[in-house]
């Protein structure tokens, strides 16, 4: 596995990471592959198992932890999330850059393991803008929004540990910056 081909992306929930990444994968399908994470959270209405995440029970997830199947895993907003070693190998063995969309805890674990990767943090213009985004997305309860905002404040304190920080105020500008961080 060639770790130089890992791209780690973090940023608060609702900041627009998925939109930016979808644009990247659509523009360069031959260059990038996405490591589909495992999670114990329930799927949202528009999410597809095996595409957005591998949705599993907490028992299955903790079983995978015991079998040492993850590159990293973390508890985020009360649910398990993890990157499976198999998923990363599948992408890299295909000769593509492997993109991990993971939280700051997971990103720091990857970094501490000494793996060579490019670390990119996507930040919101402000917490207020993030609140409006999460509310208008309509996928979260108000309790979940509050949890995500609280976590966002914590996550933002890690941004200086990344190689690049991109503020997603305007999608087109942020996308261009993302591409320039990679190529
Ligand atoms: P969401 O529930 O909004 O899809 O994701 C919540 C958070 O979990 C996001 O910050 C996302 O980047 C993070 N996340 C998704 N997959 C993984 C993973 O495999 N590992 C870790 N550590 N975080 C993940």
**pLDDT at position 3:** 53
**Does the pLDDT of residue 4 top 80, yes or no?**
no
Residue 173 alpha carbon to ligand 1 centre in Å: 24
Q: Apex CA 168: angle with CA 113 and CA 159, to 5°?
A: 30
**Residue 66: Cβ-neighbour burial (10 angstroms; 0-12, 13-18, 19+):** exposed
Give ligand 1 pocket residues (Cβ under 6 A). 13, 37, 41, 72, 74, 76, 81-83, 101-103, 105-106
Q: Whose CA is nearest to atom 23 of ligand 1?
A: 102
Q: How far is CA 27 from CA 18, 31, 67, 97, 146, in A?
A: 14, 9, 36, 14, 34
- Tell me the domains of the chain and their CATH numbers: 3-182 (3.40.50.300)
Q: Measuring CA to CA, which residue among 149, 176, 131, 155 is closest to residue 10? A: 155
Q: Which atom of ligand 1 is least distant from the CA of 77?
A: 6
- Identify the band that residue 122 occupies on the pLDDT scale cut at 50, 70 and 90: very high
**pLDDT at position 137:** 87
Q: What is the rounded CA–CA span in Å between residue 34 and residue 84? A: 12
End-to-end CA, the chain: 20
Q: Apex CA 39: angle with CA 19 and CA 24, to 5°?
A: 20
For residue 172, report the phi and psi dihedrals to the nearest 5 degrees. -60, -40
pTM assigned to the model: 0.94
Q: What is the rounded CA–CA span in Å between residue 105 and residue 111? A: 10
**pLDDT at position 145:** 95
Give per-residue pLDDT as tens, 73-84: 999 989 999 999
């Amino acid at each position: 596995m060639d770790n130089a081909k890992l791209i780690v992306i973090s940023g608060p929930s609702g900041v627009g990471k998925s939109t930016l990444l979808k644009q990247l994968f659509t523009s360069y399908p031959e260059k990038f592959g996405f490591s589909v994470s495992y999670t114990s959270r329930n799927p949202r209405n528009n999410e597809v198992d095996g595409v957005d995440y591998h949705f599993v029970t907490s028992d299955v997830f903790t079983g995978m932890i015991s079998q040492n199947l993850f590159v990293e895993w973390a508890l985020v907003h009360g649910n398990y999330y993890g990157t499976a070693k198999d998923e990363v190998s599948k992408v890299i063995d295909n000769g593509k850059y492997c993109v991990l969309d993971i939280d700051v805890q997971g990103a720091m674990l990857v970094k501490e393991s000494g793996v060579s990767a490019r670390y990119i943090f996507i930040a919101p213009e402000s917490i207020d803008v993030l609140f409006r985004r999460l509310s208008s997305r309509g996928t979260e309860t108000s309790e979940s929004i509050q949890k995500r905002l609280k976590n966002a404040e914590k996550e933002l304190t890690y941004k200086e540990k990344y190689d690049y920080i991109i503020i997603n105020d305007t999608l087109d500008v942020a996308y261009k910056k993302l591409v320039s961080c990679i190529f």
